[in-house]
Amino acid sequence: MNKSRANKVADNKKPKPYETTAGISWIATRQMQNRIQLEIQKLYKEINVEQLLVLMELDYEDGLRPSVLAERLQRSKGTMTSLIRHAEKNEYIASTPDPTHKNAKKIFLTLKGKKVHDELSKIINNELQEAVAHVSEEHQQIIHDAMKGMVMRYNPSIFEF
């Protein structure tokens, strides 16, 4: 924060959202997500970050029900239905009836989806490394711990899968 902003914050005693630690974290993550989206679009115009997150979840654990995907990604059932429909149309995923639940289905990553996932994962990993390349390892650990705490606040079970 530059000096004039710091003085303004001190004078008003109530910083604007973007002047807070959480606010700047939000801006940084949005910018990183937007940057990753631009990189994805260079290779696959039909995929966005949210659709890639679906592929990532299925790569981690294949054969999930849509409701489980929605819960893990913290998306509504309607949004999840749209993401699944789009991914099926592009043959990145396939669905089959769930033998344990009459009206449910399970979602699986296809070979094409796995190939796309693996290719885009390299791009994401590279972008994530570059995003913190200027930060010392000690500070990266502090940031990691702080961000993990924020993640746990919104989705306490995220690391249980």
CB 9 within 8 A of CB 1: yes
* 10 pLDDT higher than 70: no
Burial status of residue 123 (CB atoms within 10 A of its CB: 0-12, 13-18, 19 or more): middle
- Topology of domain 44-149 in CATH is Arc Repressor Mutant, subunit A (1.10.10)
The proportion of the chain whose per-residue pLDDT surpasses 70, expressed as a percent, equals 92
Q: How confident is the model at residue 158 (pLDDT cuts 50, 70, 90)?
A: confident
* 1 pLDDT higher than 70: no
To the nearest 10 degrees (0 to 180), the angle between helices 49-60 and 66-73 is 120
The reported pTM is 0.81
pLDDT at 94: 97
Per-domain residue ranges for the chain? 44-149
Q: What is 124-145 written as a DSSP string?
A: HHHHHHHHTTTS-HHHHHHHHH
